């Protein structure tokens, strides 16, 4: 018994000595929780991506027919670097849905793996507006109508290799629903899949009017901000900043309405708006309402608007400023000028801060071989007013963009 008591006393003294030893290491046995979740391949069942993790796109991630991907507000998605077949992108195939609904306080952010943004943040600190093509982009494909070469009913979306069947878009359902996108910022994309073939910030292929798209920001993309290929979706509250090609680009007889948009050109931009008509026999009209266009002194193209390929539609309540003396609105070819002469292209309520030495008649130019609308420059004085900055009464309501990264950087 004495030996047992002595043993217990010795053990207690040792424990007391350890507990009072300030140099003893403290070992944290709490398991480390990773905030990165890698995703790749097909999403074939309905899935939710939560805001407590950063979701990493390993190559092309495809929401397949019948599946819905839900993304919580405040979630960050990062695409890995890669080009060609290895370019990363989120693709919603025909019949799939993307429900990505952020808020002004908790936007959903798509960016590159190189961005040091962390969970709960709205921006990283290591990239600038000049950093683009660091991943692909977001592609939504639907079953609405488009006008395709050869009058086929479906087509392969640009940016996706021809062998990938999930890249098909088009059909006959103009009310098709591909989901709900709101308060989303897409950054630093535009990876090349081939020479001169890049993924846009947001690509919409034959997306139908049942789809809701509003409060979207695209910045620092190598190609277009948003490109519409046919379809009838009508997005609103769109901000594009520093695109490498065109801000808003419509093709293949897009027939929706784009409302309340701001395009801010950068030093690599071509046109703020590029507008093409159908490629087949099917034609219809587009509408742009309440658009603000901000030019850039060093943009290699720097056009206000480029109308091409039989385009038909209306451009209403447009405010433009900051463009070069050589910038212009071009009615190019393939019956565009004739469509203007026939009343199939309409301009209403344009207000422009004119560059020094430039007149309204200089800005609107007919570049068609037939010169069918040679009077467009003179006619423009009927729908265009020269204004000073800040005195405009048309254009976008900029207050809706207070949540954006562009606003935080005083881009406009």
Domain presence at residue 336: yes
Question: Is residue 2 domain-resident?
Answer: no
Q: What is the C-alpha separation between 251 and 310, in angstroms, rounded?
A: 10
Phi, then psi, of 215 in degrees rounded to 5? 60, 65
- Distance from C-alpha of 271 to C-alpha of 284, rounded to nearest angstrom: 22
pLDDT in tens, 225-274: 999 999 999 999 999 999 999 999 999 999 999 999 999 999 999 999 99
Q: Would residue 33 count as lying in a domain? A: no
Strands 192-194 and 197-198: antiparallel
Residue 10 lies in a domain: no
Instruction: Give residue 121's Cα distance to chain centre.
Output: 20
CB 107 within 8 A of CB 185: yes
What is the distance between the alpha carbons of residues 182 and 214, in angstroms, rounded to a whole number?
5
| Two structure tokens written together for 39 | 């995703």
Number of helices (H) and strands (E) in the chain: give both, helices first.
5, 28
Tens digits of residue pLDDT in 108-135: 999 999 999 999 999 999 999 999 999 9
Tell me whether residue 246 is in a domain: yes
pLDDT tens digit sequence for 333-373:
668 888 998 899 999 999 999 999 999 999 998 777 655 55
Please report, rounded to a whole number, the percentage of residues in the chain having pLDDT higher than 90. Answer: 80
The beta strand positions in 131-285, using DSSP E, are 137-141, 155-156, 168-169, 179-187, 192-194, 197-198, 202-205, 212-219, 226-229, 236-241, 248-251, 257-264, 271-276
Residue 127, domain member (yes or no): yes
For residue 36, being part of any structural domain is answered with: no
Cα Rg of the chain, angstroms: 26
Q: Which residue has the tokens 């910038």?
A: 327
Closest CA to 392 of 294, 295, 315, 321: 321
Q: Which domain holds residue 212?
A: 46-408
The tens place of each residue's pLDDT in the chain, 412 residues long, gives 433 333 333 434 343 343 444 444 444 444 445 689 999 999 999 999 999 999 999 999 999 999 999 999 999 999 999 888 788 999 999 999 999 999 999 999 999 999 999 999 999 999 999 999 999 999 999 999 999 999 999 999 987 878 888 999 999 999 999 999 999 999 999 998 766 678 999 999 999 999 999 999 999 999 999 999 999 999 999 999 999 999 999 999 999 999 999 999 999 999 999 999 999 999 999 999 999 999 999 999 989 999 999 999 999 999 999 999 999 999 876 688 889 988 999 999 999 999 999 999 999 987 776 555 568 888 999 999 999 999 999 999 999 999 999 999 999 9
344 neighbors 367 (Cβ within 8 angstroms): no
Provide the token pair at 129: 């507006």
Within a domain: 216: yes
Nearest CA-CA partner of 229 in 292, 295, 280, 162: 280
Tally the domains of the chain.
Answer: 1
């Amino acid at each position: 018994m004495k030996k047992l008591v002595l043993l217990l006393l010795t053990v207690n003294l040792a424990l007391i000595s350890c507990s009072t030893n300030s140099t003893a290491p403290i070992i944290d046995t709490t398991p480390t929780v990773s905030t990165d979740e890698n995703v790749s391949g097909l999403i074939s069942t309905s899935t939710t991506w939560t805001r407590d993790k950063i979701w990493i796109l390993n190559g092309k991630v495809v929401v397949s027919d019948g599946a819905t991907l839900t993304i919580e507000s405040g979630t960050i998605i990062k695409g890995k670097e890669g080009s060609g077949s290895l370019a990363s992108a989120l693709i919603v195939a025909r019949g799939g849905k993307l429900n990505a609904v952020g808020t002004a306080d908790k936007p959903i952010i798509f960016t590159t793996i190189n961005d040091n943004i962390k969970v709960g943040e709205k921006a990283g600190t290591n990239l600038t507006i000049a950093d683009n093509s660091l991943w692909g982009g977001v592609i939504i494909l639907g079953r609405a109508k488009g006008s395709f070469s050869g009058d086929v009913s479906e087509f392969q979306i640009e940016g996706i290799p021809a062998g990938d069947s999930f890249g098909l878009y088009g059909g006959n359902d103009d009310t098709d629903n591909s989901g709900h996108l709101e308060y989303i910022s897409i950054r630093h994309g535009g990876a090349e899949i081939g020479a001169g073939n890049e993924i846009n910030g947001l690509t919409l292929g034959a997306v139908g009017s049942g789809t809701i798209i509003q409060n979207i920001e695209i910045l620092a993309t190598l190609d277009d901000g948003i490109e519409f290929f046919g379809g009838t979706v009508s997005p609103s509250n769109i901000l594009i900043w520093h695109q490498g090609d065109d801000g808003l680009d419509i093709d293949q007889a897009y027939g929706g309405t784009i409302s309340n948009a701001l395009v801010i050109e950068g030093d690599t931009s071509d046109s703020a708006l590029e507008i093409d008509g159908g490629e087949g026999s099917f034609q219809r009209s587009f509408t742009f309402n309440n658009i603000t266009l901000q030019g850039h002194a060093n943009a290699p193209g720097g056009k206000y608007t480029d109308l091409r390929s039989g385009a038909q539609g209306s451009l209403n309540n447009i405010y433009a400023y900051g463009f070069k003396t050589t910038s212009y609105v071009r009615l190019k070819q393939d019956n565009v000028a004739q469509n203007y002469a026939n009343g199939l292209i309409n301009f209403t309520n344009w207000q422009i801060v004119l560059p020094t030495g430039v007149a309204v008649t200089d800005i609107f130019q007919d570049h068609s071989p037939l010169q069918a609308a040679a009077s467009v420059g003179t006619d423009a004085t009927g729908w265009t007013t020269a204004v000073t900055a800040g005195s405009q009464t048309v254009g976008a309501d900029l207050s809706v963009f207070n949540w954006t990264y562009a606003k935080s950087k005083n881009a406009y």
